[in-house]
Homo-oligomer: A and B are copies of this chain.
Amino acid sequence: MLLVGWNKRVQRGYPGPGWKNTTQQIIMSMLNIDLSFRSHTCGELRPADVGEEVTLCGWVQYLRQDLFVIMRDFSGLAQILIPQDEDKMNLKTALCDLPPESVIRVKGTVRLRPDGQENKMPTGEIEVLAESVEILNVCRKLPFEIKDFVKKSESLRMQYRYLDLRSSQMQYNLRLRSQLVMKMREYLCNVHGFVDVETPTLFKRTPGGAKEFVVPSREPGRFYSLPQSPQQFKQLLMVAGIDRYFQLARCYRDEGSKPDRQPEFTQVDIEMSFVDQAGIRGLIEGLVQYSWPVEKDPVSTPFPCITYEKAMKDYGVDKPDTRFAMKLMDISETFHNTEIEFLKDALNQPGGCIQAICIPDGAKHLKGKDHESLNFHAPDFHYFLPQRPLLGKLRLQCAELLEDSGVAVRDPSAFHFLWVVDFPLFLPKEEDPDQLESAHHPFTAPLPEDAHLLYSLPHKVRGQHYDLVLNGCEIGGGSIRIHKASDQQHVLETILKEDPSLLSHLLEALDSGAPPHGGIALGLDRFLSIIVGAPSIRDVIAFPKSFRGHDLMSHAPDFVSEDELKSYHIAVNWPYIKAHIC
């Protein structure tokens, strides 16, 4: 078993991934309370403990030669030597019959392993000579073995999540999550005086909020909804004079079965008064630096910052992966006098241009089938692409193809943070391009230098919005908010043509002495999955739902009887062919 990231700081009850934690060092001396049955954890024993009488609790990993029990707890493995004495035969019999993953308590003495029997495990120099063993629970035959090299299907992992979580990788992921969040809290609360405020998750439905789960109340026809974020509450807290708010907020989004989305997820939600963009960016850079796992290379700050315009120009996307170059290049000039018909056509179109990606040694590494594959993804690829986003996708696909053929394009251990700023405040609506909609949300303030355009040329206004991008993934976004009721009303009513009465409590609040304020929300699950290199956010969530939003262990969501729905005054509209009778 490989224990990822455990280090010497693993103590009786101490988490594995270590941080430079002054508090921890100071208060370790306070740790005199004996909470557990054990005297030590399995993974902490070392030659310095030789001669100690110890009590260990844990799981039988496996038996070896009827001589050894390899015993596991969260901190690692220990080798237990089964006494071979005649008078302890019953102990030997009991242990040798014990199925793996049974739970035992062992009392014994630490001793050095005989010469030549050491191994490279952290506890590889010692073993524990058992004096007594108590079987605390016998394990049945499991659906899969708890061994890192045993491949399990995703659905089997989910169905038996409590077994899947015993793997060293999942143990590491959950413990890293806990530690990272703790460091974030220390930074926000202790260093910068933020106030951790819990906001409701039973709230009012946003009209047209198609992605909001509804929760029927006991009053006929009235529903709560589970909010997608605490946006309104965080702004109200600024109006309330809380000054600096944060929360690890559970958020809800009903997106059906989009890949790698979860119906509930967690965001690090932050809001501050009397702050500008630079203040929020500085805060977040410090937050990442402070909470960053020590076993990774340190993060340097400030993070690079580019405008939305430049991101689109250079990378064809607003969340560029800056771990590699291969920028988009405008080569229109080269073809200024071209006779090639389709290039000429392109240049003659309004705003027409010719763009290219220069792939280093591309001719060498990309073969015929690769061209086909790129072509498949972008039918117009051959020589002509009208839009930058397609080129942005091609850039990423080229990187993948190169990596598949063994070329090192992106350093898998590199973490490239990037701020993207100066987004347009409004975009034309897809279904009606004469109408504008918010590029992010209607509470974002305009850039000060564009503020005057809000009343004349709103489509030209850039917003005080900022996205935090890590390795090509958006891991956070925020903005300086509109803090004047009149501006907010103008945006809602005149520009977005929305009914401002639906947000009357927010408008009233802005009119009641709202300070200038701004904030950000970081997607914790995504952030963690990138840090640990997990293929899915499900690997950093203890009990995630499947693609289809199911809990494969408990079978949620499940049928509820008509009777049980009565107090909520709702009935199920069964489709014509009733597939199930409840």
Contact = CB atoms under 8 A, between A and B. Distances in A.
Interface residues of A, number: 152
Given A22-B23, A160-B512, A177-B197, 17 more contacts: A11-B193, A57-B274, A73-B241, A74-B241, A101-B513, A142-B512, A174-B197, A197-B542, A198-B266, A205-B560, A216-B216, A223-B557, A223-B558, A224-B557, A225-B556, A569-B572, A569-B575
Scoring A59, A160, A216 by chain B CB atoms within 10 A of each residue's CB, the highest score goes to A216
A483 to B, nearest CB: 6
A515 B71 CA distance: 13
A132 B23 CA distance: 43
A37 interface: yes
A178 B194 CA distance: 9
A376 to B, nearest CB: 32
A195 B15 contact: yes
Contacts of A306: none
Given A286-B33, A542-B198, A186 B23 contact: yes
A455 interface: no
Interface in A182-211: 182, 185-186, 189-205, 208, 210
Contacts of A200: 264, 543, 545, 551
B543 A199 contact: yes
Contact of A574 (B221, B275, B545): B221
Interface stretch (A88-96, A232-240, A364-372): A232-240
Contacts of A514: 103, 137
Interface string A537-560: 000011101000101011111111
Interface stretch (A24-32, A377-385, A398-406, A460-468): A24-32
Interface string A510-545: 111111100000000000000000000000011101
10 contacts: A35-B272, A35-B279, A36-B273, A57-B274, A73-B243, A74-B241, A162-B237, A163-B512, A197-B542, A223-B560
Contact of A264 (B137, B202, B283): B202
A216 B574 CA distance: 13
A276 B512 contact: no
B201 A250 contact: yes
A580 interface: yes
A136 interface: yes
B556 A204 contact: yes
Given A103-B513, A190-B182, A200-B551, A165 B505 contact: no
A573 interface: yes
Contacts of A567: 210
A202 B556 contact: yes
A63 to B, nearest CB: 15
B35 A192 contact: yes
A576 to B, nearest CB: 11
Interface in A453-483: 483
A214 to B, nearest CB: 6
Contacts of A72: 241
A549 B567 CA distance: 15
Interface string A81-105: 0000000000000000000011101
Contacts of A549: 217-218
Contacts of A14: 193
B558 A222 contact: yes
A491 interface: no
> Copies of this chain, how many?
2
A13 interface: yes
Contact of A553 (B23, B224, B505): B505
Contacts of A27: 186, 190-191
A242 interface: yes
A270 to B, nearest CB: 11
Contact of A13 (B237, B243, B254): B243
Contacts of A233: 542-543
Given A202-B545, A233-B542, A542-B233, A241 B165 contact: yes
A64 to B, nearest CB: 19
A329 to B, nearest CB: 38
A286 to B, nearest CB: 6
A153 interface: no
Scoring A174, A195, A210 by chain B CB atoms within 10 A of each residue's CB, the highest score goes to A195
A554 B272 contact: no
A440 interface: no
Contacts of A390: none
A34 interface: yes
A263 interface: yes
Given A137-B515, A182-B189, A193-B11, A161 B557 contact: no
Contacts of A38: 274
Contacts of A11: 193
A196 to B, nearest CB: 4
A140 interface: yes
A24 B22 CA distance: 11
A354 interface: no
A103 B509 CA distance: 13
A324 interface: no
A257 B161 CA distance: 37
A203 B554 contact: yes
